[in-house]
Structure 1
């Protein structure tokens, strides 16, 4: 079966209902790909949309034979759990919240080095699947557990428990034992701490040695971290949830790293943790000794260290410094097969790939991630650097970068690209403007061997964004007009700015589904503008780092510049401008009506950060510094003191169970607005986290927002 999108809509479907039911059109879409090193099989997850109710969201583990295109189920959670529902521990729920995981069933898996054995958790229990001979079975492991990982040789499975231990069991189910157990409450072995999961894009806490005889294991002690209590006001009988939350300026968890041998040996890895407390990246491959990237708390210096696997002593390979901050990257640092250090580093106008001292890319490419390191080349994602002639917004490139320095070769250009590789087989996942969803192609060189079937629903509407580089700063932007709009007939349109606008996320991408919500708002009678101003990733280091110590001024100025520049070409009514956003976009939306009421006439702020001293250490201090050292920066970027300035309609939406941007942000702003006598609307969402995954909530939020904006703008 090679169709890309399976239509399962009904005549009664509306976009808000369909969008909510399908988890933003991800249900039925293949994901989490892996390829065997000999290219003999592709492994992936995909839910079975033919099942009723919540079962349609449960991912199965699949394999595909590249030679024939035939798919086979390797593990079915419904069968493995005997038809019962999943029972998730609080630790697993928190882990999924950190990774923004809204699906069910098998949400992650790990493979041995030959991709013959897969290990995964279901309801806190350990399962393995034989990807060659077939069959899946449960192993009698202690639990509840999470994140099991086979040794490279497939003989052992290591797994952390929710109680904080790291345990080991043989692949045949024998010999289950503890490798490390917590010495006190608050200690975990083999789990990534909150700040690593939420902000460092490090969701692992242990790494196997290439020989499968030892592990590098993180020990995290969150005893020093302050405790917050998140209650459910709708259910006052419920005990509030205790959360160890490292807010800006407060203590982080103490993270150490240990070498644990399967023979019971234990050796601490030693580095200057006082100067560089953040464990950012760990890499252990056959190309060299264990490799660590550790950062200073202010993230303006970092060390690349090698580890002696016998003594635990570390040796410094490289020190990097930056006046603003240093980024963490996917896939790097790493070793090349010939033993050179592979890294991504900032250069003027771009980010470059280095192998040892050799610079492998120039200013025509801005490196984003390393996807695979092969014998003679590296597979990378990159966008256009400042030296590139084509600066078309919203596109990325998949490149093969030879290790001999002969120059990168473009393999594919598109949107939302990702790829995995094994032998000569590549799975390329991409999105495009002319088709909904994502397409996962199995390739050998340029030859397409198969397309992995997607059963995601076809959206009930079609997006039509128009892309521009707006204003003097050439801000990447997209404009979405109502379906069937005619300028002579319909005239100027009220404007809805729909940004994220901050670091870490770019919304202007040439992908159909990226603009579905914007198109729906446009079809309610708005011209929708999405602008990626300074601070958003993918342009250049200077573009991203120009927001250092100034969220409010820089990001708001760029929204205004993009709006006014686009109004010279598009039918934008500058007398009726609204703005909406979530998380940082919620902060930006509230900021807009508070500080620029001359430009913005209404706002919907979802889960906004209103006081940056309430947000976490690694993110906030990276951009604004430490609050005790730069209190004026925190004051200048807070919304609380601006409350008396409100003169435009503002709706604030917040999930009361949010443990990322806690509801205190909204409550403090609302209290300040009330004290200043400024009318506003607060929509509290009981039991809702930062993701708002509940169908009814997600659907009704869209409907309530459009009603509020119409009323606020007098439509």
Structure 2
């Protein structure tokens, strides 16, 4: 801890009038600070509380329910698949549920080899995956088949009468390339589709060989003459473009048909054309290679990728393997049943596109936000968004619309279009709009809530979420479905006033299920049809806590919403398909997460069936998981439910020895309530303080939940004598449309006003903040606000530490920037006002006040942001310091980089605050 020493300066001591005079403090060497980081990581290791994530359920024949989840096993660091069996009971039972490994621990999955492809690493960046090991899996409940990708390979394992855990997974031959977003066929789980090398592939233990299903991409093998160039390969199938993944959180680009009445397998997929998207080069993430990596990145105001929906169909044909080698390539030699039945071969591959492409039917459409199938497999649905993100339509695409033959110039000759059969018998139905929404004064937040109910005649009912009331709420919508032949009238007859070749909404009824000045979480709902109930997670009691609720599908509503979890905690919830069992992890800001299994009784109430306990502390576990920076839009809130850091456990404090942060609330001058979190250091009186800021949209940092290792550095700073403050200002998430939209066209203005106002109130309220010694620090959007804070309020913030900051919004991507700022050509003055570069002349002239940190391989907020600001600061003669991390992307994932960053941060604050 620092020791303040009084310093008195006379008139001749060189202090200019009004100039800040820093109290003399004990100075720490770099070696001392680095050792302190090492020690603090040990002492704070108790923050690393692991909770089950990615919950799945499966009913067993003995009446039990098997619950699958991801977590690290006891005495282990690698995330793996675990399970526990529960016997549903009418009585409550809070006993411990033993969990066991589903996968044999001695099986080598290649995790330790570091065989993670570039494609996998980039997908993790988009998904904010913070795991080391098995990051995702898929369960086919009826067959018991488990499939998961790991270390550029694809594995499957089967539970059955003759096979019980721990299972020995086998690797599928995927044809080369890292398998991305793999998905089992719902009708035939032995078939696994995945994206690799820009196309969709099919793999399976019974397939004679992996089969390429699309040919959008020319291929990633170097050309014998000129070598491979990204510019020569602008198309890909089954893989969303960058902004779709980063800004709309859609990571898959293909979807299996769930049901069919014939022997044809169908996959609808997105084909992306990025020929107009500019290519940028960055230093390789392999920092010592000296090579560069190419990325397509659409900057604000420039062309986006173009998306179209297509369909691939195929059949399977049984054929006998011809050589012994075939058996081993397919893994069939280990599975005698598969050898006896012979091998399957993919035949009759056909490609179809829409009779009228989406861009013809909806000329305004820019982003393909969500896609899926109706449960009966007769329709594809899609959420279409315009470029301004102020208009969204949910459209229904009948299977018969995918009837125009398509082809690929790079496909083998025998697969070219020709001899195509019709998908379905005529008549052909129209494309139909089910829902149309606009938000002229804000933007539309894309969500995942869409649940189709069993169809009745020519009507279709579904549960939909909308912000039309100002807050996200659930609605039960019933629409009439048109069956008129599209070929019986001309295209001109179908063109509406906005030149859309589709039938407009025909809503019979739209009834609110929930209502009020609170939000439903936009991720998932669970529908209990027999009891006519819908379960959902929402923020009704307080915007700081997530709770499970039940509401009736039939009247009375929306006033019959029932709270099922305990106030004072925030919950992460998973429910089985029958809505009879739930797994709920609850915590609050001062208590660690507890995961319990519940039976859902009738009328709705929760009966605890057992507790999935945390693993006991283990000794000397070396961290090999994510150790990144305070970046990402998952923030430090509850949007990411996992706790994935594991620390060295040589000398750990207990939870009771680490003071929990406090949540405080105040009323802003605008009349609205703001919440903040305070990590108070142990020293008495007023202390130097760090305002840890994100401040941007899509994130909520202040919640009544235990965040553990995600807030490691806040606890580190507090342990070193600094208070830490985090504020959710206007523009942050989960407070309603008006609260969010306050920043539209005003990035960097409203947020900083609120942050400073709350900071000043907190200083008066608590008496622990030395307003002469305040630092502002953040990452990504928080880095942007940190820079603006120092440039525009140098009298408030003594120092600034900005990580991976945006410095000019014209350099950032289209979807994010234009959502909040509009297009640069339409709002040039707003872009100038929001630019850090325009404020460069106002940065302080004193040394030791500005530190910028950036990963050189950052493909999200490119290093050119820091380079542009640095060039301007150099031109103006402004003092500053830049810390570069070669090989690191937007998140600092390497342990040595994370530790160096922490030491750099602490040393800079000790020296200058």
TM-score by length of 1: 0.89
Find out whether 1:503 has 2:697 as its counterpart: yes
Deviations 1:262-293 (A, max 9, x none): 34333224323541120111232426732210
The secondary structure found in structure 2 opposite 1:400 is strand
The secondary structure found in structure 1 opposite 2:688 is strand
Counterpart contact for 1:35–1:43, Cα < 8 Å: yes
Deviates more, 1:617-626 or 1:523-532: 523-532
Deviations 1:147-175 (A, max 9, x none): 21111134443333431221223454446
Deviations 1:191-237 (A, max 9, x none): 22211111101111111222163222111222221111002599575
Deviations 1:44-67 (A, max 9, x none): 11224634xxxx2x3222222122
Q: How does 1:55-204 map to 2 (within 5 A)?
A: 56=77, 58-67=78-87, 69-76=97-104, 79-81=107-109, 85-112=113-140, 114=142, 116-132=144-160, 133-134=163-164, 135=167, 136-144=169-177, 145-170=179-204, 172-174=206-208, 176-184=210-218, 185-204=233-252
Give the structure 2 partner of residue 14 of structure 1: 39
Give the structure 2 partner of residue 311 of structure 1: 401
Seen in structure 2, the aligned counterparts of structure 1 residues 463 and 150 have a Cα distance that, compared at 3 Å, is: farther
Find out whether 1:621 has 2:818 as its counterpart: yes
In the alignment, the residues of structure 2 paired with residue 544 and residue 621 of structure 1 have an alpha-carbon distance, to the nearest angstrom, of: 15
In the alignment, the residues of structure 2 paired with residue 228 and residue 259 of structure 1 have an alpha-carbon distance, to the nearest angstrom, of: 31
Counterpart contact for 1:215–1:261, Cα < 8 Å: yes
Match for residue 598 of structure 2 among 427, 434, 443: 443
Match for residue 547 of structure 1 among 720, 726, 743: 743
Give the structure 2 partner of residue 684 of structure 1: 884
Find out whether 1:336 has 2:453 as its counterpart: yes
In the alignment, the residues of structure 2 paired with residue 655 and residue 77 of structure 1 have an alpha-carbon distance, to the nearest angstrom, of: 35
Give the structure 2 partner of residue 5 of structure 1: none
Deviations 1:444-475 (A, max 9, x none): 12222233343366974624222222232321
Seen in structure 2, the aligned counterparts of structure 1 residues 236 and 61 have a Cα distance that, compared at 3 Å, is: closer
Match for residue 358 of structure 2 among 225, 250, 271: 271
Find out whether 1:321 has 2:438 as its counterpart: yes
1:635 positional shift: 0.9
Deviates more, 1:693-702 or 1:256-265: 256-265
In the alignment, the residues of structure 2 paired with residue 48 and residue 707 of structure 1 have an alpha-carbon distance, to the nearest angstrom, of: 36
In the alignment, the residues of structure 1 paired with residue 779 and residue 278 of structure 2 have an alpha-carbon distance, to the nearest angstrom, of: 26
Match for residue 479 of structure 1 among 678, 681, 694: 678
1:113 positional shift: 5.4
Seen in structure 2, the aligned counterparts of structure 1 residues 595 and 711 have a Cα distance that, compared at 3 Å, is: same
1:72 positional shift: 3.6
Counterpart contact for 2:285–2:857, Cα < 8 Å: no
In the alignment, the residues of structure 1 paired with residue 236 and residue 184 of structure 2 have an alpha-carbon distance, to the nearest angstrom, of: 20
In the alignment, the residues of structure 2 paired with residue 324 and residue 78 of structure 1 have an alpha-carbon distance, to the nearest angstrom, of: 57
Find out whether 1:427 has 2:583 as its counterpart: yes
In the alignment, the residues of structure 1 paired with residue 801 and residue 582 of structure 2 have an alpha-carbon distance, to the nearest angstrom, of: 42
Deviates more, 1:453-462 or 1:653-662: 453-462
RMSD: 2.7
Deviations 1:537-581 (A, max 9, x none): 011110011111111111111101111222221122222211111
Counterpart contact for 2:193–2:201, Cα < 8 Å: yes
Counterpart contact for 2:570–2:705, Cα < 8 Å: yes
Deviates more, 1:227-236 or 1:404-413: 227-236
Deviations 1:74-132 (A, max 9, x none): 33586143786242221111111211223222211123353722222223222112144
Match for residue 252 of structure 1 among 301, 304, 329: 304
Deviates more, 1:559-568 or 1:119-128: 119-128
Structure 1 unaligned spans of 5+: 1-10, 385-389
1:708 positional shift: 1.2
Seen in structure 2, the aligned counterparts of structure 1 residues 92 and 343 have a Cα distance that, compared at 3 Å, is: same
In the alignment, the residues of structure 2 paired with residue 441 and residue 404 of structure 1 have an alpha-carbon distance, to the nearest angstrom, of: 30
In the alignment, the residues of structure 1 paired with residue 151 and residue 73 of structure 2 have an alpha-carbon distance, to the nearest angstrom, of: 19
Deviates more, 1:295-304 or 1:168-177: 168-177
1:378 positional shift: 2.5
Counterpart contact for 2:694–2:781, Cα < 8 Å: yes
The secondary structure found in structure 2 opposite 1:147 is strand
In the alignment, the residues of structure 1 paired with residue 216 and residue 835 of structure 2 have an alpha-carbon distance, to the nearest angstrom, of: 39
Counterpart contact for 2:391–2:444, Cα < 8 Å: no
1:528 positional shift: 1.7
1:645 positional shift: 0.4
Deviates more, 1:623-632 or 1:84-93: 84-93
Give the structure 2 partner of residue 387 of structure 1: none
Structure 2 unaligned spans of 5+: 1-35, 89-96, 219-232, 316-348, 403-429, 478-509, 601-605, 616-645
1:646 positional shift: 0.7
Counterpart contact for 1:584–1:609, Cα < 8 Å: yes
In the alignment, the residues of structure 2 paired with residue 618 and residue 418 of structure 1 have an alpha-carbon distance, to the nearest angstrom, of: 30
1:601 positional shift: 1.4
Deviates more, 1:439-448 or 1:153-162: 153-162
Seen in structure 2, the aligned counterparts of structure 1 residues 284 and 377 have a Cα distance that, compared at 3 Å, is: farther
Find out whether 1:221 has 2:243 as its counterpart: no
Q: How does 1:199-598 map to 2 (within 5 A)?
A: 199-211=247-259, 213-231=265-283, 238-263=290-315, 264-269=349-354, 270-272=357-359, 274-286=363-375, 289-312=379-402, 314-337=431-454, 339-356=460-477, 357-374=510-527, 375=529, 376-384=532-540, 391=542, 394-406=544-556, 407-412=560-565, 413=567, 414-415=569-570, 417-423=572-578, 424-436=580-592, 438-445=593-600, 446-455=606-615, 460=653, 462-472=658-668, 473-483=672-682, 485=683, 490-512=684-706, 513=708, 515-571=711-767, 572-598=769-795
In the alignment, the residues of structure 2 paired with residue 14 and residue 355 of structure 1 have an alpha-carbon distance, to the nearest angstrom, of: 55
**Larger gyration radius, structure 1 or structure 2:** 2
Counterpart contact for 1:271–1:314, Cα < 8 Å: no
1:653 positional shift: 0.5
The secondary structure found in structure 2 opposite 1:598 is coil
Counterpart contact for 2:83–2:99, Cα < 8 Å: yes
In the alignment, the residues of structure 2 paired with residue 444 and residue 674 of structure 1 have an alpha-carbon distance, to the nearest angstrom, of: 64
Counterpart contact for 1:283–1:334, Cα < 8 Å: no
Q: How does 1:667-706 map to 2 (within 5 A)?
A: 667-706=867-906
Seen in structure 2, the aligned counterparts of structure 1 residues 214 and 50 have a Cα distance that, compared at 3 Å, is: same
Give the structure 2 partner of residue 640 of structure 1: 837
Counterpart contact for 2:526–2:575, Cα < 8 Å: no
Seen in structure 2, the aligned counterparts of structure 1 residues 576 and 159 have a Cα distance that, compared at 3 Å, is: same
Deviations 1:638-663 (A, max 9, x none): 10011110116111100111111111
Give the structure 1 partner of residue 863 of structure 2: 663
1:29 positional shift: 4.2
TM-score by length of 2: 0.71
In the alignment, the residues of structure 2 paired with residue 174 and residue 139 of structure 1 have an alpha-carbon distance, to the nearest angstrom, of: 11
The secondary structure found in structure 1 opposite 2:191 is strand
In the alignment, the residues of structure 2 paired with residue 78 and residue 188 of structure 1 have an alpha-carbon distance, to the nearest angstrom, of: 37
The secondary structure found in structure 1 opposite 2:516 is coil
Counterpart contact for 1:371–1:420, Cα < 8 Å: no
In the alignment, the residues of structure 1 paired with residue 525 and residue 103 of structure 2 have an alpha-carbon distance, to the nearest angstrom, of: 26
